[in-house]
Structure 1
């Protein structure tokens, strides 16, 4: 997780990770949902870190749904930390969203599913 936070910081991004937020209630509740919804709504972009743990989370689909409703498809991207495969077994709807990937020259871009031409990651964050 630290590597992902450092990676996004290279592009000037502050990362919010709910389980590191000490203001979150110790037990999951409607207050938890309100706080998450508020954070998602206030953020400019929503990057889903696709880790083995996040893929099992019951909250991630809800969080992604909130982001989708507030931001639309263009301001959401998935950063796959599981593998470079963007075929999401049991999470097929992830295919609706942009994904972040490193291209052959070492730069990072944001791509729509099934397209080989993307937008440089730094440009995507600026829009």
Structure 2
């Protein structure tokens, strides 16, 4: 079951923990760590996604929470993003209308595809009730969806699923 953007917005209002401000902060917890590729226009959805993933034991790195990132994207931004993608266990692509039309997000998933094992890249398709975003990538990468019992799981293109807590 594709994650509903309305559910992610609701989760953002329940935010109980801070977003990791650095890759090293994310890795210190001993949890699964992930770089979250997203559009900055989706801030509320990002917060909700982080909160939702934390409930499955994941610590998520978000670049705009990292004070070491330049205020205006440049070559330093690209270099640091590459470092963060490599430093975390997972690469997650939050698929929304904004991320699908972003200039940075396709570059980030392309970089991750060249640096991470394919099974360490997960797409998070979302729906706004009218459209579902991210289907372009689902034949290439596993996806995060809700299982029939409501828990988050990673599904392969063949629909075999594993609970996120078990990854």
| TM-score, length of structure 2 as denominator length | 0.64
**2:85, 2:112 within 8 Å by CA — same for their partners in 1?**
yes
Check if 1:2 corresponds to 2:42.
no
Q: Which structure is higher in RCO with an 8 Å CA cutoff and minimum separation 6?
A: 2
1:3-23 Cα shifts (integer Å, max 9, x gaps): 111111112222122233232
Structure 1: how far apart are the matches of 2:144 and 2:151? 11
Runs (5+) with no aligned partner, structure 1 = none
Change (3 A) 1:57 1:109: same
**1:100, 1:109 within 8 Å by CA — same for their partners in 2?**
yes
Alpha-carbon RMSD: 2.0
Runs (5+) with no aligned partner, structure 2 = 1-45
| TM-score, length of structure 1 as denominator length | 0.82
Structure 1: how far apart are the matches of 2:49 and 2:137? 23
Structure 1: how far apart are the matches of 2:160 and 2:53? 21
Question: Tell me, what secondary structure is at the counterpart of 1:26?
Answer: coil
1:64-116 Cα shifts (integer Å, max 9, x gaps): 1121122121011011233584763xxx3453010011122222211112x23
**1:77, 1:98 within 8 Å by CA — same for their partners in 2?**
yes
**2:153, 2:161 within 8 Å by CA — same for their partners in 1?**
yes
Which range moved further: 25-34 or 78-87? 78-87
Structure 1: how far apart are the matches of 2:127 and 2:70? 28
1:23-102 equivalences in 2 (<5 Å): 23-82=68-127, 85=132, 88=135, 92-102=136-146
Change (3 A) 1:36 1:87: closer
Match of 1:121 in 2: 164
Match of 2:155 in 1: 111
Match of 1:17 in 2: 62
Which structure is higher in strand share? 2
1:33-70 Cα shifts (integer Å, max 9, x gaps): 00000000000111111122211211111111121122
**1:50, 1:78 within 8 Å by CA — same for their partners in 2?**
yes
